[in-house]
Amino acid sequence: MELYSIDIFSGVGGLTEGMHQADFKTELAFEIDELASNAYQLNHTDTTVITKDIRKVSITEIKRKMNGKTIHLLAGCPPCQGFSSIRRLNRVTPVDDDRNNLIMEYVRLVRALKPYTIMMENVPGLVEYDLFKKAIKILTEELNYKIDFKVVNVKDYGVPQSRRRLVLVGSRLGELKVAEPSNEKRSVRDVIGKLPKPENSNDPLHKIFPKHTDKVKQRISLTPKDGGSWKDLPKEFILECHKGKNIGFNDVYGRLRWNSHSTTITGGCLNPSKGRFLHPEEDRNISAREAALLQSFPPNYKFPVDAPVSKIALMIGNALPPKFSYYQSINIKEHLKKQLGNNNLTD
């Protein structure tokens, strides 16, 4: 029996990849960015991808595309960059960003489509946002969904990366809880330790990593292997901007550690000045393929390699780790089976 899902704000398809691994069939995906939409379609050819601002998508259009199919799961990651820890550095209030209001578009679709279950992932700072609290009130009191949400770390769900995220799940069939940690632990070595050097690889994505000036190359070569950082460099190689007291961004120009998880893979993952993105032992930044693997994408997941490096980094860093999506999706699948029965999933 088919389980049908819809992915809104789909990006390159990290959330969808996890749902597919859990046996959901994603009928529709919505993504405003054309490049990300194209990347999604490269990997999910059976899904209808609509490249459009979700605010301009009508319910009639969605229902027509679904053609009477039951919506078992409506999933999405509304962009709320104004609440990210980086954007809010040294701020009490969120950054004014019109994308912060997209959570209400998610609610609009839930209200009109009445999916059996919902899943939403976002930055932890969203919990304190008035519109998030309003969304919870509508979902529970008006639409009668049983809701659970919490801030978790994806490293506890088999993703080789520390990344704190808010995850919300809900069901109109009965109580549904956020999936418990899987206790599957994966390290940087587990996922990228056996890759060939980029110059010896046939994978075009693995060949993508930043090229540096001779001075930066020297600074990288002097950074101790397996977890070293700019703090370990001789004084003459420490940048002026790093010499003050209480300097933030301690991970910049830092190496990953082989036997631990990586730091958060962000949209700056192909720039060592943006975080701890140096290879544990080779004198270079991690490649785009290595960043995707640390996000838990499958080794053969496709990205548009002819796109600008900065765009590729954003597509990878902005994605929901598929392994995390899988554990949340399999938990929802078990809930649906329990509530509807194995042979009655379309009721």
Main-chain dihedrals φ then ψ at residue 260, nearest 5 degrees: -130, 175
For the segment(s) 3-182+321-340, the CATH number from 3.90.480.10, 3.40.50.720, 3.30.70.580, 3.40.50.150 is: 3.40.50.150
Give the other-Cβ count within 10 Å of 214's Cβ: 7
Is residue 29 within 8 Å of 97, Cβ to Cβ? no
Is residue 7 within 8 Å of 328, Cβ to Cβ? no
33-44, pLDDT tens digit by residue?
Answer: 999 999 999 999
pLDDT-derived band at 229 (thresholds 50, 70, 90) equals confident
66-90, pLDDT tens digit by residue?
Answer: 999 999 999 999 986 555 444 444 4
Mean pLDDT over residues 313-328, rounded? 97
d(CA 310, CA 318): 12
Please state the length of the chain: 347
pLDDT-derived band at 219 (thresholds 50, 70, 90) equals confident
pLDDT-derived band at 55 (thresholds 50, 70, 90) equals very high
Is residue 62 within 8 Å of 98, Cβ to Cβ? no
Q: Does residue 92 carry a pLDDT above 60?
A: no
Q: Does residue 97 carry a pLDDT above 60?
A: no
Please, what is the Cα angle at 331 between 329 and 334, to 5 degrees? 110
Give the other-Cβ count within 10 Å of 46's Cβ: 8
Is residue 36 within 8 Å of 342, Cβ to Cβ? no
16-31, pLDDT tens digit by residue?
Answer: 999 999 999 999 999 9
What is the set of active-site residues? 80
d(CA 16, CA 237): 44
Which neighbouring-strand residues pair with 168? 120, 149
- Which tokens hold the place of 121? 């992932």
Is residue 303 within 8 Å of 12, Cβ to Cβ? yes
Closest by CA to 158, choosing from 331, 329, 327, 333, is: 327
- pLDDT score at 51: 96
- Which tokens hold the place of 197? 């050097």
Mean pLDDT over residues 218-241, rounded? 75
- pLDDT score at 213: 87
Mean pLDDT over residues 318-324, rounded? 97
136-165, pLDDT tens digit by residue?
Answer: 999 999 999 999 999 999 999 999 999 999
